[in-house]
Structure 1
Amino acid sequence: MKVFEGQGREVFEKFKNETQERAFKLETLQYYAEDADDPSLKKWLNGDKNESIRLLGGNAKERSGWWPKDEKIKKTRIHIIEYPLSEYIKWEIEAYRYVNIPYCGEEVYLLDSKHMDEYQNIPEGWIYDDNRAVIINYDKNGKVLGFETYEGDEVKPFINLRERLLKLPLEEIK
């Protein structure tokens, strides 16, 4: 089933709120347009890294409000990265350190794209409790085009992909 932008946020909220044990996020892009107006990112890109980090830390709880830390739910994120790292990715790594890890309770890993030859064109998205998935479709500039949802047996290919990725050399962000 396809779900487009208007309905997509509602589906994310529903799946997130019904998650009991595990959530997995795979990120494949090197830039996300939804962050373009973020004051912290703007400071980072203008070379004011200290102020950028201060902004990240200063409103970390607010930023994590979309899915705060919950000891019952294991959250894992893998971001496939390309070297040399873009300034955007460097900023996002700091966001992981200041927000996603301490306030959302995520385990965050980076995966060098050089390990991805056999995984070209893999989908980006979330797996919830191994029985639901939301795939996010983006344009070439990192803007969300729409969402696809999968449930039950349709999720198995995404679970298999996750398990294969977790066996590759990952760098944990702390």
Structure 2
Amino acid sequence: MGNRLSRIYTRTGDDGSTGLGDGSRVAKDAARVNAFGSVDEANSALGVLLAVALPDDVRTLLTTVQHQLFDLGGELCIPGHAAIQASDVGALEQQLDHYNATLPALKEFILPGGGEAAARCHLARTIVRRAERETVTLARLETVRAEALHYLNRLSDLLFVLARVLARADGHGEVLWQHARRHG
């Protein structure tokens, strides 16, 4: 591991720039910073989800994902660095298949909710989707490995499925969108 921060403030970002992992400096609102910043936010949202009661298998899976998201943030912070592999994407797909197999087919749209754990999972999912969008924006400007994009896409799908599982596990059930409701 490289140098660790012994002092949190450095004043080097006071001019609106930030340092990347390769030592270069970019604007704090650069596409690359937005992408890895949203990955960091998604990781924090998973931490908020992990702060509530969860089934052990889901907790173990989400803890692994947190480590992978930290790796992905590093990949996006260091131009040319590779951290996420096709096998990581494949592992998410296996988990998706595993958890989705127990769920009934979707016939309605689902609203974010279904109990505290499910709602937190939905929030994490939407933040991962934003991270994916911002990484796509970065990929239009600079080189981004396909594995990074695939990982974020599969992770948001997995979080959707896990939110469904958690809503059922909590006994709240899924909150279905009522498209035929009356207004007024």
TM-score, normalised relative to structure 2: 0.27
Select the structure of larger CA radius of gyration: 2
Higher RCO, 1 or 2 (CA under 8 Å, sep at least 6)? 1
Greater helix fraction, Structure 1 or Structure 2: 2
